[in-house]
Structure 1
Amino acid sequence: MVALDMDALAAGRASEVRFPTPWPRHFGSVTVSPERDAAVFAGVHAVRSVAATGTTRWEVRHGCWYGGCALLHPSFDEYAHDKDHLYADSGSAAVSADGRLVWAHVRAPLDGDEGTEDDQELWVLLDAMDGRVLGRVNTMTVASNSEHTPHLDPTQMGLSVGEGEEGSPALWGRWDGQQLTAAQIGTELVLLAVSPSGRHLLTVDVGQWSLSLHRTEDGALLQELDAQGTVPSHPRSTGEDRVYWDYDAAFIDEDTIVAGTSECDARYGTARHWLVNVHGMTLRGEVSYPFPVSGPARSAGDGAWYTVSKDRIAVHLWKLAGEK
């Protein structure tokens, strides 16, 4: 797994850090610490922090994400060649903005737990240095997958849990130094991004009809922007297809969002991305790229967003014209 320092890359300096992976990429997900001194892999049976040398810094074992398995696996090798585990459900992990905490969505029990139901799912807070469990809360979810949405405040974090046909709870977590708590923002929402100030959250409903702006403090809905009736149909469309938002978007700054309709545009070849004015949640217009892009717009921080080429061999970093 490769982590790049984009500022160093632009300046012509060495920018690449490579982390050996403890298991193949389709067995979970990965996140990197802000200083790139560790990669945290959220796997089927464990959350593991790995140094660039490949050394395991720590590991927290948890219940197996494959629903038909009640084992607490000692290692990946135990199920590496089992086809059922290849299609296991999954959790996720994220490192806090200051690099000191790891937030992880896992299946119970944790190694050493007693009396914990093995069908529970936990949101745990870990010390990024040694993997100590600092706090935990039952998410009351039945996940197929999940994804974290970081906040600039290391004591706050978002979690979107995909439950297949059952729903998509969006949770907001807070750590007061003693207790981890989680409040539900909605049952059919996916968290997309946090504004640069941290005051606002952006979500999309699971049907991808509307982008919604929320207040971070209490999750209150402030504004919505429907795709249908606002975003024009693709030029190659017959006009009969529904226009809908992607499951990814990014804040460029406190006033501007870039959001895509690439998923519904895919049948016509060319993806479209749109600038949205946060104040009033109104459409400003289509982003004009120097060459066709594919897929959604994803946040890269510092006023930038990125796209991945259709052949998946290049990442393109973007900023608005005139921005440094």
Structure 2
Amino acid sequence: MDVDARLLDSVALPGARELVCGLPFERPGAGRNRALLLHGAELEVHDLAVLFAGDRAPGAVFPLPWPGWGGGVHSVAPDGAFAAFSGQRSVRAVDADGTTRWVYGHACWDQRVGHPHTGDERQVCPGSESGSCRVSDDGRSVWAHVVLEAGDDPADYQEGWVVLDARDGRELARLPLPDSVASGSWHLAHPDGVHMGLCVGMGQDGVLVYWGRREGGELIVHDELNDGLDRILYDVHPDHPGFLTLEHNGNDLQLHALDGTVLAENDELRWDHSCGFLDGDTVLATSDVGYAADPEDHTTWLLAARTLEMRGRVRYPGGAADGPVRPLGDGTWLTYDATTDTVHRWTV
């Protein structure tokens, strides 16, 4: 069954592609979606409701602590009071006025053995590896994927997951990640306010997925999906009990309980890296044209959120070309028009 898409809003914005093709949005409150865009040496914070109302000025702007650093995934506190930056050799919290709140130093993400550091914290090493951080939805802690140890011997290298006090950067809990040799990573906050997700991309070596919670000074994790190293963490929704993953080659979509149990699966098509919860009852996903036997199979699909059964194919007005989608969880989704650097917001 075809389902018609209805255009709600459009906005042209430099860097707009990242709103659709970048990492998952931060959702600091019910019904709110907030996009973080890194422009040069500044991190811009855009509330989507304000953006699509016509105000393209960012709600807040934070200076990047290391002007030459282009890696890492950063985060902003729910109230906008500070930003947490994931750097090459530290996690740094910066207040809204640009002053440094605290610094949590760690070993260098550049995995070259024994490379020198000048002592200048603005030094950027050539390696492309990086980590990520995420401010908890209550604003009280910062979760960060960091390098715990690195030295002259490759055997000394070890990554880890730490939870930091948002007030002063004090380490509250840590967990070594002995299997992780990351190219990059990102966090996804669970709406239960307790669990945090971490997805670690390791290039050709696969993907790691963790769900963690802090109990006192310990970090307790579910890592049952890591036996196959082949699932990418994509989305979670407050009105749905599971989380959504994609097999890294696009062979199937799956829904899981926090302990990794598969609740539903769809392997009817080869899926593209573009999916998420449209709302608590519906998943939106795109099929991969590169592997489709029939060009008609490359399109945007609606799936039942609890069974992942096909509900219908999305039909855009005027024959608009299908492409990547960014479901927002509130019944709407975004697409991107590269010819005009414009983002469109749709509903069914």
TM-score, normalized by length of structure 1? 0.79
Q: CA deviation at 1:12?
A: 6.3
Q: Contact 1:64 / 1:107 at 8 angstroms: preserved in 2?
A: yes
Letter aligned with residue 98 of structure 2: G
- 1:146 to 1:52, Cα distance in 2 relative to 1, 3 A: same
Q: CA deviation at 1:287?
A: 2.4
Counterpart of 2:123 in structure 1 is 78
1:296 aligns with 2:340: no
- Residues 135-189 of structure 1: CA distance to partner in whole angstroms, max 9, x if unpaired? 0101221111112121113321111111222221211111123321122131221
Q: Contact 1:155 / 1:176 at 8 angstroms: preserved in 2?
A: no
1:172 aligns with 2:211: yes
> SS of the residue aligned with 2:167?
coil
Letter aligned with residue 197 of structure 1: D
Letter aligned with residue 123 of structure 2: E
**What is the aligned counterpart of 1:17 among 45, 60, 64?**
60
**What is the aligned counterpart of 1:163 among 193, 202, 213?**
202
> SS of the residue aligned with 1:165?
helix
1:219 aligns with 2:260: yes
State how many pairs are aligned.
291
Q: CA deviation at 1:256?
A: 0.4
Structure with more relative contact order (C-alpha pairs < 8 Å, separation 6 or more) = 2
Structure 1 residues 94-109: aligned runs within 5 Å: 94-109=134-149
Q: Contact 1:248 / 1:259 at 8 angstroms: preserved in 2?
A: yes
Counterpart of 1:207 in structure 2 is 249
Counterpart of 2:45 in structure 1 is 3
- 1:198 to 1:278, Cα distance in 2 relative to 1, 3 A: closer
Structure 1 residues 227-306: aligned runs within 5 Å: 227-228=268-269, 244-261=270-287, 264=290, 272-290=299-317, 292=320, 295-306=323-334
- 1:306 to 1:150, Cα distance in 2 relative to 1, 3 A: farther
Looking at structure 1, the residues matched to 99 and 53 of structure 2 have their Cα atoms a distance apart, in angstroms, of 30
Counterpart of 1:232 in structure 2 is none
Q: Contact 2:233 / 2:245 at 8 angstroms: preserved in 1?
A: yes
Letter aligned with residue 139 of structure 1: L
- 1:15 to 1:161, Cα distance in 2 relative to 1, 3 A: closer
1:50 aligns with 2:94: yes
Letter aligned with residue 108 of structure 1: L
1:121 aligns with 2:159: yes
Q: Contact 1:192 / 1:247 at 8 angstroms: preserved in 2?
A: no
Letter aligned with residue 96 of structure 1: S
Consecutive unaligned residues in structure 2, runs of 5 or more: 1-42
Looking at structure 2, the residues matched to 309 and 78 of structure 1 have their Cα atoms a distance apart, in angstroms, of 37
Q: Contact 2:73 / 2:86 at 8 angstroms: preserved in 1?
A: yes
Counterpart of 1:234 in structure 2 is none
Q: Contact 2:69 / 2:87 at 8 angstroms: preserved in 1?
A: no
- 1:177 to 1:249, Cα distance in 2 relative to 1, 3 A: farther
- What fraction of aligned residue pairs are identical, expressed as a percent? 38
- 1:313 to 1:196, Cα distance in 2 relative to 1, 3 A: same
Q: Contact 1:249 / 1:257 at 8 angstroms: preserved in 2?
A: yes
Output the aligned Cα RMSD: 2.9
Q: Contact 1:262 / 1:295 at 8 angstroms: preserved in 2?
A: no
- 1:60 to 1:285, Cα distance in 2 relative to 1, 3 A: same
Q: CA deviation at 1:72?
A: 7.2
Consecutive unaligned residues in structure 1, runs of 5 or more: 80-84, 111-116, 229-243
Q: Contact 2:71 / 2:129 at 8 angstroms: preserved in 1?
A: no
- Residues 48-100 of structure 1: CA distance to partner in whole angstroms, max 9, x if unpaired? 12223322222211111110154677544223xxxxx3442111111222222
Q: CA deviation at 1:198?
A: 5.5
- 1:19 to 1:220, Cα distance in 2 relative to 1, 3 A: same
> SS of the residue aligned with 1:247?
strand
Q: CA deviation at 1:133?
A: 0.9
Q: CA deviation at 1:257?
A: 0.7
Looking at structure 2, the residues matched to 183 and 306 of structure 1 have their Cα atoms a distance apart, in angstroms, of 31
Q: CA deviation at 1:15?
A: 5.7
Letter aligned with residue 148 of structure 1: H
- 1:25 to 1:288, Cα distance in 2 relative to 1, 3 A: farther
Letter aligned with residue 5 of structure 1: D
**187-196 or 301-310, which deviates more:** 301-310
Q: Contact 1:108 / 1:118 at 8 angstroms: preserved in 2?
A: no
Which 4+ stretches in 1 moved above 6 angstroms? Answer: none
